[in-house]
Structure 1
Amino acid sequence: MRLVTFTDGMGARVGALDSSGAVRDITAVDSSLPRDMLGLIASGRMPAIGDAPVVPEARLLAPIPRTPKNVFCVGKNYHEHAKEFAGSGFDGGAKDVVPPFPVVFSKPHTSIIATGEPILGHLDPTGGLDYEGELGVVIGKGGRGIAKADSLKHVFGYTIINDVTARHLQKRHSQWVLGKGLDSFCPMGPAILTADEVPDPAKLTLTTWVNGEQRQHASVSDLIFDIPTLIEAISAGITLEPGDVIATGTPVGVGIGFSPPRFLASGDVVRIEVPGIGMLENRVA
């Protein structure tokens, strides 16, 4: 099932996308369901579309407009992108092209926007705006010290993330929060594909286009540190909560990988697709 958060002038609530892409109001047929995504995830309930009515004026919000904590992000987690980043001059002199352990940073919830909302490019005064298409993992059952063997039991579903980055700020400050955590720099959506629909997340693929030109295409199986490893590493000392999101890293093909770099400009459109989840599309304002 593809679950969404939407609004239609009657308040934000959870819904589901049917096979045609229409939004159906699942709370209209079961008033006991939580109306927000975090509440639904924490409840452990899996709704059914059934006779849920179509909402013709629905506008999609980010599936989780405000995560319990900052969005967890993983850097340099595809082999070819790790090489690309190391050779770009923006890596801050890191010694290891391929990191020996997951590189984890975070983006604040104020960076989260929905598909269709503008990326506020003017917040990067340095002119180094870049895109990073990524698969996002949504935690269902929380916990600390989650073992790899049990990790996928803690996954509620999967979404798409654009880890928008101000490259010069990223390099200038060494730590990545200021380069990656600006308002609107975490487009998310359009939906959460529930884990029961994804027996093996490694078989998912991700493709990114900029103004219709394909820039990235990879299989999730190419991750250096796979999803179970990431969940184990993050939860070792940080309690994961229902609705926490982990962005798993971006493949080769980002703007700084070109010579010269191909940074985003006002009016550019970034579209990211993971079959089964849908398309996340945002224009640079």
Structure 2
Amino acid sequence: MRIATARVDGVVTTVVDRGEGWHTSKASALDIVTGADPGPGRWVEEGGLEYLLPYRPPTIHGIGLNFADTVAEMGWETPTKPYLFPKLSSAACGPHDDIVVDPELSTRVDWEAELGVIIGRPAKSVPVGEAMSYVAGYLAANDISARDLQEQDGQWVRGKGLDTFCPLGPWVVTADEVADPQRVAIRTWVNGRLMQDGSTASMIYGVAELVSYCSSFFTLAPGDVILSGTPAGCGDFRTPAVALRAGDVIEVEVAGLGRQRSHVSAPL
């Protein structure tokens, strides 16, 4: 099942697709993701949907340095355990919202296309072998990052947490529709140029390991999103480096989970 929040004929509503096209629902996207029955609804044409942020996650858990090709590109040591960082919920925005880049705050803003993993029920101290039963679904994510702020701070809260720094969507796909989350293609284009072309097969720690590891430290709540890492091809690690600027267009596609298209803008 696909689940989205969209503007339909000027009205914001939840829409679901159970294989027969999009239908409206009175339930919220988050409630449906975490198990609520969407109920009956009216059919709507896909071409008439304006996709918005599917829902605002309670917490976004970032995972750094989790793709072997990315670690090799950076010339860093392979982590011996997942590298965790917080990604503020307020950073989340829709799949076609502007990414606001303020040169007064950062001049090295980068992209990171990722598979977002959605938690469906409270998870604490979950064994790896049981972890996938806590996954409700997946969505495309872009972990926008201010590399200069990350370097200045030595930790990543500010560099990862600016408003609009986490486009999500366009929709959620329930876990039963993703045959193997470790075989999902991830691609990024900037101004039409392919920048990332990878696969979750390159993940150092798989989805089950990430859920288990995170839950060993804190309770994962229904609707929480784990950003599972990004493949090689980010702008800051290129020679010469590439940074996002106002006027750029960035597209992120996670196979089976839809495609984002975001404009980069300056602050109003």
State whether TM-score is above 0.5.
yes
Q: 2:62 aligns with which of 66, 73, 86?
A: 73
Q: What is the number of residues matched between the two proteins?
A: 264
1:15 aligned onto 2:15:
yes
1:195 equivalenced with 2:194 (yes/no) = no
Write out aligned runs for 1:152-191 (5 A): 152-191=132-171
**Residue 23 of structure 2 aligns with which residue?**
24
Q: Tell me if the contact between 1:113 and 1:186 (Cα under 8 Å) persists in the aligned partners.
A: yes
Residue 47 of structure 1 deviates from its aligned partner by 4.1
> How many Å separate the matches in 1 of 2:123 and 2:79?
26
Q: Is contact 1:141–1:153 with CA below 8 Å preserved after alignment?
A: no
Q: Which residue of 1 aligns with 2:92?
A: 112
Query: Counterpart of 1:25 in structure 2: which amino acid?
Result: T
CA deviation map 1:76-120 (0-9, x unaligned): 00012112234xxxxxxxxx6111110011111111110111000
Letter in 2 for 1:205: A
C-alpha separation in 2, matches of 1:145 and 1:18: 32
Are residues 124 and 67 of structure 1, via their aligned partners in 2, closer, same or farther at CA, if it must alter by over 3 Å?
farther
d(CA) in 2 for partners of 1:39, 1:191: 14
Partner in structure 2 of residue 89 of structure 1? none
Contact 1:111 1:181 in 2 (8 A): yes
Question: Which residue is equivalent to 1:41?
Answer: 33
1:91 matched to which residue of 2? none
Please name the residue that 2:50 is paired with: 59
SS in 2 for 1:202: coil
The aligned counterpart of 2:101 is: 121
Give the letter aligned to residue 3 of structure 2: L
Counterpart position of 1:30? none
Structure 1 unaligned regions, length at least 5:
28-33, 87-95
- Amino acid paired to 1:225: Y
Q: Quick one: which of 224, 228, 252 aligns to 1:248?
A: 228
What is the Cα deviation at residue 19 of structure 1? 7.1
Letter in 2 for 1:204: V
Q: Note the alpha carbon deviations across 1:47-85, whole angstroms, 9 max, x for none.
A: 47x873206754321112x2122x101000001211223
Q: How large is the RMSD of aligned CA atoms in angstroms?
A: 2.2
For the Cα contact (< 8 Å) 1:23–1:58, is it kept in 2? no
Displacement of 1:10 = 6.9
Matched, 1:3 2:8: no
Asked if the contact 2:69/2:202 (under 8 Å) is kept, the reply is no
1:127-276 mapped onto 2 (5 Å cutoff): 127-276=107-256
TM-score, length-scaled by structure 1:
0.86
The TM-score with structure 2 as length reference comes to 0.91
